[in-house]
Amino acid sequence: MPELSRSQMVVYGAVAVALLLVGARAIRAEGDAGTPSAAASTGGGAGAVSLKANGGPDVVVDVAGAVRRPGVYRLPVGSRVVDAIARAGGAAGDAALEGINRAARLADGQQVMVPALGPGGAPATPGAVAEDGPISLGSATVEQLETIDGIGPMTAEKIVEYRDDHGGLSSVDQLDQVSGIGPATMESLRGRLQP
C-alpha cells in the first residue's frame, strides 16, 4: 500500500470532517422533522402559529378554550385529544376536562374545544356557545347534539360513536353515513355544526 503524503492526509481528513458534519446535520434535520412542532408565533393575533412541515402524515388541529396556549398545531396521525391539549401547554386551571372525550382520535382540520368551569366552579356546558352559534363537531356532546332540530338521544349517540370510531370528523358531510340521518337532518346539522 503506497504511503500518503502529509498534504493528502490533510485533504482526506478535511473530507472526512465535512462528511461527518453533513451526516450530523441530516440526522438532526430528520429528528426535528419527526417531532410534532409549531414554529414561533407569526404575530397574526393570539394563538397564531406558523406550522413547520415535516413530511410525515400529520393532522392539523385548532386547540381552543381553557388551555394554556390556544392555537393551531400539527400532530402525528393517530394522536388523541389528550395529545392536542398537552401540545397546547396543558389544560388551564379553569378547564372542565370531564366535558370532553380526551381519548378520541384527532382528525385533520378538527377543533378541540376545552370547556371552562362556570360560575362557582360548576362545570360549564362543554363547548358552550351562543344558542344560535355553531357547535364544534370535534367536541360536541350527546346533550349538545340533541339541541339540533331532528336529532334525538339515539341519533346523537350514534353521531358521537361514529366520530369516535372513525378518529374524528373533518366535515359535517361525513355524518350522512350515520344511520338515521336524512337530507332534512343534514341541513339542520350544517347550520348548527362546524368541523
pLDDT, residue 122, reads 54
96 in Cβ contact with 86 (< 8 Å)? no
* Residue 74 identity (one-letter amino acid): R
pTM, to two decimals: 0.44
Cβ-proximal residues to 179 (8 Å cutoff; 6+ apart), any chain: 158
Alpha-carbon gap, residue 21 to 170, rounded angstroms: 42
Which of 29-33, 84-88, 113-117, 124-128 shows the highest mean pLDDT? 84-88
Q: Which helix (H) or strand (E) holds 74?
A: strand 71-76
Alpha-carbon gap, residue 18 to 25, rounded angstroms: 11
Residue 90 in this model has a pLDDT that exceeds 80:
yes
Burial zone of 60 (CB within 10 Å; 0-12 exposed, 13-18 middle, 19+ buried): middle
For 98-130, how does the pLDDT look when each residue is reduced to its tens digit (9 = 90+)?
878 888 888 888 888 888 886 655 555 444 443
**Length reported for the chain:** 195
Residue 2 in this model has a pLDDT that exceeds 70:
no
